[in-house]
A and B are shown apart, each in its own frame.
Chain A
Amino acid sequence: MRKVYADTVVIGGGAAGLAAAIKLKDLSVNKVILVDDRERLGGILPQCIHTGFGVHYSKRDLTGPEFAEELSSFVLDRGVDVFLNSYALELRYVDYYEKSVIVASRKGLIDVRTRTVIVATGARERTVYEIGIFGDRPAGVYTAGMVQALMDLYGVMPGKEVVIVGSGDVGLIVARRLAMQGATVKAVIEVKPWPGGLIRNIVQCLEDFGIPLLLSHAVRRIVGHERVERVIVTKVDDKLSPIPNTEFEIKCDTVVIAAGLKPEVQLLERAGALIDPVTGGPVVNEYLETSLPGVFVAGNALVINDLVDTVAEQGETAAEGAVLFMNDKLIAKYYLRVICGSNVRFIVPQVLMGLKEEITLYGRVIMPMRRAVIRIPELMLSMQQAMITPAEIFKVNISERKISKVVKLHKLTINVLESR
């Protein structure tokens, strides 16, 4: 097998990987290889033709394809070695200073030996088979991402009468896109009692087009011989289980599954990295280093993000971490667990090691909360926020000086409480 040497290998050419590669070059890393399995850089950005990308990173409100082209041109200008149509088959932790990434390319297998790796493999969509929908398996069932790719990369209209399962931002944006192009979106169906997406998207994607949102409802069955004919919907109670005798049907020819994303962590898992069962991504420290020293992660492979700007920010943080690692400056001072307290589903990073002066914690709540207070009892810290919802990741910035004083407590607990 052909061997190639690098300082850092970035796996994935989406927003996280591109931002990481740019930052690595800006920090004067000599040999950066970026591996991507598609024909072009950008990951899923080119199929997200709506605006809202790069507001913080580029200081402009761009569409997905524009943001992808901007990042790609930065990467190429800086002399990153880009391997397209190349699939990272395996990640192997050889020793502290050497990792191996086996890449399948059009010219055969390549063994890339590298000091550091940044995994930016993004996420995959949850499918119809993972969310408890039974019944027939006719044509006309798509994931939201497939619909975006069909419509906005290949100009194909997937159907005429559509039911969308899931009210996260992706589901809402796809509902709008279908409605704009003349499809009838019969309903967006959400199992939880509150919408999964941002209010902005509820208003501009659903209300603008008169699309009904059915909260506390679930699709139970898909019915159709060759093509989808209808779906059977039921109400659910507050434990999300179906309420008997509330079934009704909605006629449609297309079902779009927008039931969330899962971090793509196969490479990391097989290499032996510790995975957080709640985020589905790896356990990381404040430089987004996994439990494998010198292997970092960023973007949706780390945790499902809402904004591309957060993804790019994580790419940059991972790149900074990789550079410190190569300079032998990424050495743990202590080991502090970050604990999810009241109304907190997850916090990333999960572990703090005294590596970074300004720390950003990313978290998601379980339930929406008005007049919320983020409270960290160990630091006697309270921060007010008008509203925190599961639709938006909340961020907590803390300086390391404060944390270093409470190291003996071995943990930090993040609570989101209602203020009285």
Chain B
Amino acid sequence: MIEVKKLTCIVCPVGCKIEVMLDNNRIIEIKGNMCLRGAEYAKSEVLNPVRPFFAVIKVKNGELPVVSVKSNKPIPKECIRKMIKELSRVKLKAPIKAGEVVVKRLECLDVDLIATRTIEERSSHLSSKP
């Protein structure tokens, strides 16, 4: 079966409109790109579109009620919303250090979630000087 996927190249500000013709998920033609980098982008975007993942997770007893996290590698595009749903059930406990792995091997995906900021315990929060 032949299908055509249309996408906008994001490699540079020109933003070429690229058409990728697929025959049973095999690329047979890429057109509309002005440079080779565009073709590379189109190939990966059609065969395996991934995105960096970031979100917040609830925290118990923290100076703030949530902590921001990111995945240690990009995840498939279509998994983003599912991951968020999954995370709404997770609750972490303060203190959390930036860089700490807070969720291991999420879902069936082989990714870890890492805290991107430090959240101190609520009681240990010091007011500042001077």
Contacts and interface: CB of A to CB of B under 8 A. Distances in A.
| Co-assembled chains A and B | yes
Interface of A: 39, 46, 49-51, 61-63, 65-66, 68-69, 82-86, 105-107, 110, 151-155, 180-182, 198-200, 202-204, 207-208, 370, 386-389, 391-392
Contacts of B52: 50-51, 61
Contacts of A180: 55, 80-81, 84
26 contacts: A46-B117, A49-B116, A50-B52, A65-B98, A65-B116, A66-B98, A66-B116, A69-B98, A69-B117, A82-B129, A85-B128, A105-B130, A151-B56, A153-B64, A154-B65, A154-B66, A155-B65, A180-B81, A181-B84, A199-B13, A204-B51, A208-B80, A387-B12, A387-B15, A389-B13, A391-B13
B130 A107 contact: yes
B128 A69 contact: no
A198 B129 CA distance: 40
Ordered nearest first, which 10 A-B pairs have the shortest CB separation?
Answer: A155-B66, A65-B117, A84-B128, A199-B15, A49-B68, A200-B10, A387-B13, A387-B14, A65-B116, A155-B65
Nearest to B128: A84
A65 B96 CA distance: 13
Contacts of A200: 10
A46 B68 CA distance: 9
Interface string B103-128: 00000000000001110000000011
A208 B84 contact: no
Nearest to A389: B13
B77 interface: yes
B7 interface: yes
A153 B65 CA distance: 7
A62 B15 CA distance: 24
B8 interface: yes
Nearest to A65: B117
A174 to B, nearest CB: 13
Given A153-B64, A155-B65, A51 B13 contact: no
Interface residues of B, number: 33
Nearest to A179: B81
A86 B58 CA distance: 29
A86 B129 CA distance: 9
A387 B11 CA distance: 12
B66 A152 contact: yes
A335 to B, nearest CB: 34
Contacts of B70: 49, 51, 63
A181 B12 CA distance: 29
A154 B64 contact: yes
Contacts of B68: 46, 49, 63, 65, 152
B114 to A, nearest CB: 9
Given A46-B68, A198-B13, A199-B10, 7 more contacts: A51-B70, A66-B116, A69-B117, A82-B128, A152-B56, A182-B84, A203-B10
Contacts of A199: 8-10, 13, 15
A110 B81 CA distance: 50
B14 A153 contact: no
Nearest to A151: B56
B77 A208 contact: yes
Contacts of A110: 130
A389 B98 CA distance: 36
Contacts of B14: 370, 386-387
Nearest to B8: A203
Contact of B127 (A106, A152, A204, A387): A106
Q: Which of B12, B54, B80, B118 has the most CB of A within 10 A?
A: B54
Contacts of B51: 204, 208
A51 B54 contact: yes
Nearest to A152: B56
Contacts of A202: 8
Nearest to B57: A155
A50 B64 CA distance: 18
Contacts of B34: 386
Contacts of A63: 54, 68, 70, 116
Contacts of A50: 52, 54
B62 to A, nearest CB: 10
A386 B13 contact: yes
A4 to B, nearest CB: 9
Contacts of A154: 64-66
A370 B15 CA distance: 10
A146 to B, nearest CB: 16
